[in-house]
Each structure stands twice: as C-alpha cells, then as structure tokens.
Amino acid sequence: MSHIKIAVVLSVAIVLQLLLRDVWRPLAYIDFPLVVVVYIALQRDAWKALLVGTLAGLIVDAGSGGLVGAGGFSKTLTAYIIYFAATRVNLENPLLRIPVLAAGSLLDSAIYVFWHRVLGYPPTVPFVQTMSYKLIATTVVGTLALYLLDAIVAERSAQKRQFATRRRVARRSTGPLRRR
Amino acid sequence: MAFVRTQKEIRQRAPIWLVTLLVANLIIMAVDARDADGRQKILRVWTQTFTSPLQSTSSKVSGATSGFFQQIWNFRSTARENEQLKERLSQVETELHTARQAVAESERLKALLNLNEQSEIKNVPARVIARDPSVWFNTITINRGSSAGVAVNMPVVSGGGSIVGRVITVSPWASQVMLITDEKAGAGAVVGQLGQSGALGSIRGRADLGVALIEMRYVSGLEKVENGDYVMTTGQDGIYPPGLNIGQVVEVKNGTATQAHQILIQPGAQLDHLEEVAVLLYRPPQRSVPEASPQTPERTRR
C-alpha cells in the first residue's frame, strides 16, 4: 500500500469521524481511524501500522476534550498487537477479521480510558456502556469498511483488476467469429 | 533473499519503534495532564490552532451533508409519485429546509443580540464548529478565540441565557468549551431566586446517568425544593456571574435535617443541539486577600 493511498484513506477516516457526529450522534461510536489502523496492521507492515496508529490517535486527540497523546498511545499499542498476531497467525480469512476488529476496539478503549483514569481525567460517559456501543458499531461498520478497502486499495485487488482488464482486451481481439 | 532480510529487519526493529512511539505519546500525555484545570494548556493551544481550520471546514461540510441526506430521505418518501412531481417536491422541500434553517438561525442570532443588549456583561457571539470526535468526552469547539477577547474560564451561555459551560482552552481563532454536564464542571447554584432562597449548593455533571443531567449537592434537607423549580448561579464559584439560568429541577429525593437533598437538574440549554452560543467576557471580582502581618511567623514559632 503506497504512502499516498494510506494518507488519503486516513484523511477520509478522520474527516468521517469529525463529520458523522454532527449528522447523527450515535455515528460517533464508529471509530473509523481505528479501522484503518487495524487494516494496515493486518497487512503486516509494522512501521506503517505504528506510524498511522500514532498519527490517527494524535489528530483525533487534538479535537477531543481528553488528553493529547492518550489516543496516540492506545492506537499505537493496538496496531502493534494486531501486527504481532498477524505475523504469527494467518488472519487472511475475512471472517477472522471480525474478532480482530472487536478485540482492537476493546483494547483501544481500555488503554485510552486507563491512561485518563491514571492521570486524573476520567471520561464523562459510562465506561462499559460506551465501550460496548463502540465495539458493536466499529466491528459492524469496520467489517464492511475492510471489504471496501480490500476492493479499492489493496495491491492484490489492483493486480486482479489489471488482469481482468487484460483478459477482456484479449477476448475482444479474439471474438467468436475470429476464433472460427 | 533481500526481501526476507528486510522483513526480518522490520520484525527486529518493530519493538524499538513501538517503544519510541509509546514513550513519545506518554511524554505528550504527561505534559498535557500536568497543566492543571483553569490554566492555559500550551500543548492544546497548538493542536487546536492547527485543527480548528479543519474543524471549521468539516462543520460546513457536515451541514451540507446532512442537507444532502435530508434531500435523499425526502426523495425516497415520495418515490411512488411520478418523476416530475418527485423532482419538484424535492426542490421545494430543499428550499423549505434551507429557509427554515435560515429563520431558526436568525431567531437564535436575534436572541443572542437581545442578550447582548440586555446584559451588562459584554459577550462575544460564537458558532459551534465541532463536537468532540471521541465518544469519551463531551466538549465543543467554537469559532472565537483570544483574537476576539476570549480567555480561559470565561462562561459560555446559550441564546436563551442558560449556561452551557466554560472555556478551557483558547487558541487565536478557536476555543474549546467544557459543557456543564461534564463531571469536572461545577458551579455555585441556588434553587429559586438568589437572595430569596436559602437552598444553596453546588452543581456538577453526572457521567454515570448516561443522559445530560446535572446533580445539585449540599442543599440542606430543611429547605423546600420541588420538581420544576428553577436553578440559578450564585456567582460564588469565581467563574459564572450570579443570576444565570442553569436549568429546572426534574428529580428530588428529599433529605432530612442531617442529610442533604439529592437533586437532579435538566440543563436549560439544549446541549445536544447547540449551534450558536455567546461567550461572556466576564471576570469575577477579585477577592481582597488580607496582608499577612510580619509577626505571624514568629507567633507560630512560639
């Protein structure tokens, strides 16, 4: 995945995170930047996953009432743990991504709230309830978003598209009449 | 072979990168947490200065987006009609929606202007440009900052004059406001009219309730408090001026002579639907501190 593609996908995720809360408040429970972080971590590119985790977390923190750096910390650690798991267990199966997303969301929330409580800034919303809503929303929407990212962004899908185009072109040049 | 080595290198270096980034985040967090409430947070001023243009733009885009979805919804609801009628209806509804928004906006701005004229305290009208992108906190960002005279701890009110919260961070062109429903927010309050009622106490947000309610504490159980009573600020907290509307009592668990009332208040401002607010350029009167006599330390020693 090229740097430009990552930058575009991350920007879209952050803009969506900023926008959707205004459209309908429950949409704020979907953590789009986390979905991008999980996707890149599943690609087994440690450096990109860690950097995107930190950047995504810090940018969201900048507009949030929480501590700057808490989101960066939680997303970086989540990215590494998922990367670590992906290098040891085969997580290529799309179905396996669902528990990975759920675990990522759970871990991210737990680390984020942990640091706020330790540093004396407890969140203003009930922890278990908010974490559960976030887990459900991020997992459901994230699973679909990962499919979308696979179809649009992934190198393999680009190769498949190129191959399909070449095959179509080849078929056109050798139509049914010419084959005879 | 080279590819394998690179992968191996990446694997070996990943923990180092992880620790470096985690430590960097931890330092940023510690610096941000070090600045106590009520003081300007330097780190946040910088981050807000850079993010406020993005937030402002996204606020405009979200307005257009919600209008767009509204249009699609309207379009779907009349799907069984013929094509021409559907188009016309969609256009009319879009125009109506825009017109309604304009009327509502002008009414809110009029209310803010009236507030400006009526109040002795000068205020700066502001627009809400962003809400907290994380689900854990409930702050808002407004499009007025230090260049408009806004400072940390200044009170923010809605068009109707009810308190919304206080400014916690100020950058040149934007400010972050902690809502009154936040657990860390508080204010001196009285049930009923200031000077006529003895039901004095303090308010704070309640996170555990899951809804935007405020708790009022320390009101003597001997005082009479009923549902529907109005709650006002007392001005004793050093942030809010006296006499501002906080909200209405929605639940009272009566106390006794030795136990305080348990009171829940519905905020007067519609905190979930804020679009325009006003920052009161209010500085609480400084309390005179009695000068310590030079003999006091000696007396203490004796």
Q: Answer yes or no: is pLDDT of B302 > 80.
A: no
Beta-carbon contacts of residue A61 (< 8 Å; ≥ 6 apart) = A67, A68, A69, A70, A71, A72, B47, B134
User: Across A74-78, B30-34, B174-178, B282-286, which has the greatest mean pLDDT?
Assistant: A74-78
Testing the interface with B: which of A10, A16, A19 to mutate, by most B Cβ within 10 A? A19
Nearest chain B CA: its distance from A47 CA (Å) = 7
Testing the interface with B: which of A34, A68, A107 to mutate, by most B Cβ within 10 A? A68
Average pLDDT rounded to a whole number, residues B173-179: 89
User: pLDDT, tens digit, for every residue of A49-87?
Assistant: 999 999 999 988 888 888 889 999 999 999 999 999 998
Tell me what pLDDT residue B157 has: 92
Tell me what pLDDT residue B118 has: 56
Nearest chain A CA: its distance from B26 CA (Å) = 7
Rg (CA), chain B: 25
Q: Does A50 touch chain B (CB under 8 A)?
A: yes
Least confident stretch, A169-173, B75-79, B193-197, B246-250: B75-79
Tell me what pLDDT residue B2 has: 46
Q: Does A5 touch chain B (CB under 8 A)?
A: no
- pLDDT grade for B269, boundaries at 50, 70 and 90: confident
Record: contact A67-B130, CB cut-off 8 A = no
- pLDDT grade for B186, boundaries at 50, 70 and 90: confident
Q: CA–CA distance from B77 to each of A23, B66, B70, B94 (Å)?
A: 19, 16, 11, 14
Q: Does B139 touch chain A (CB under 8 A)?
A: yes
Q: Answer yes or no: is pLDDT of B298 > 60.
A: no
Tell me what pLDDT residue A37 has: 93
Least CB–CB distance from A67: residue in B29, B59, B66: B29
- pLDDT grade for B77, boundaries at 50, 70 and 90: low
Work out the burial of residue A5: count CB atoms within 10 Å of its CB; fewer than 13 is exposed, 13-18 middle, 19 or more buried. Answer: middle
Tell me what pLDDT residue B39 has: 65
Record: contact B69-A47, CB cut-off 8 A = no
Tell me what pLDDT residue B297 has: 46
Which residues numbered 242-261 in B keep a CB inside 8 Å of some CB on A?
none
CA dihedral A85, A146, A66, B239 (to 10 degrees): -170
d(CA B271, CA A160): 50
Percent of residues, chain B, with pLDDT higher than 70: 78
* B263 strand-pairing partners: B216, B252
Tell me what pLDDT residue B97 has: 73
B104-110 contacts at long range (C-beta below 8 A, 24 or more positions apart): B105/B275, B105/B276, B108/B159, B108/B275, B108/B276, B109/B159, B109/B276
Average pLDDT rounded to a whole number, residues B123-128: 89
Tell me what pLDDT residue B105 has: 73
Least CB–CB distance from B207: residue in A29, A121, A126: A126
Q: Answer yes or no: is pLDDT of B296 > 70.
A: no
Average pLDDT rounded to a whole number, residues A144-166: 75
Testing the interface with A: which of B21, B60, B168 to mutate, by most A Cβ within 10 A? B21
B299 or A79, greater pLDDT: A79
Tell me what pLDDT residue A143 has: 92
- pLDDT grade for A25, boundaries at 50, 70 and 90: confident
Least CB–CB distance from B135: residue in A67, A70, A125: A125
In terms of pTM, does the model score above 0.90?
no
Q: Answer yes or no: is pLDDT of B100 > 80.
A: no
**What does pLDDT average to over chain B?**
79
